[in-house]
């Protein structure tokens, strides 16, 4: 499913780029794209947060 229509970026591509990213800008740089209209930015920010939560849960599970 497309999340960023301006750059034709799909959810899987953005989620992969969000893993370990510190900012929305970093996610776009990893996708070699730039935000344009900004409509997708909240969704990309959520992806970063989800990736952080998942990696934190894995670290807790590994302890």
Check binding of 5 to ligand FES (CB under 6 A). yes
**Distances 9 to 14, 19, 21, 30 between C-alpha atoms, Å:** 7, 15, 16, 12
Give the residue, chosen from 8, 23, 25, 37, that forms a contact with ligand FES under the rule CB under 6 A.
Answer: 37
Could you count the other beta carbons within 10 Å of the beta carbon of residue 18? 22
Check binding of 45 to ligand FES (CB under 6 A). no
- Tokens representing residue 60 in the block: 């807790």
Give the residue, chosen from 18, 31, 40, 51, that forms a contact with ligand FES under the rule CB under 6 A.
Answer: 40
Site residues for ligand FES per CB under 6 A? 4-7, 35-40
């Amino acid at each position: 499913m497309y999340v960023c229509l301006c750059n034709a970026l799909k959810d899987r591509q953005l989620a992969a780029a969000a893993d370990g990213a510190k900012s929305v800008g970093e996610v776009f740089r990893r996708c070699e794209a730039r935000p344009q209209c900004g409509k997708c930015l909240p969704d990309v920010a959520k992806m970063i947060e989800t990736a952080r939560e998942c990696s934190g849960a894995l670290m807790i599970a590994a302890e």
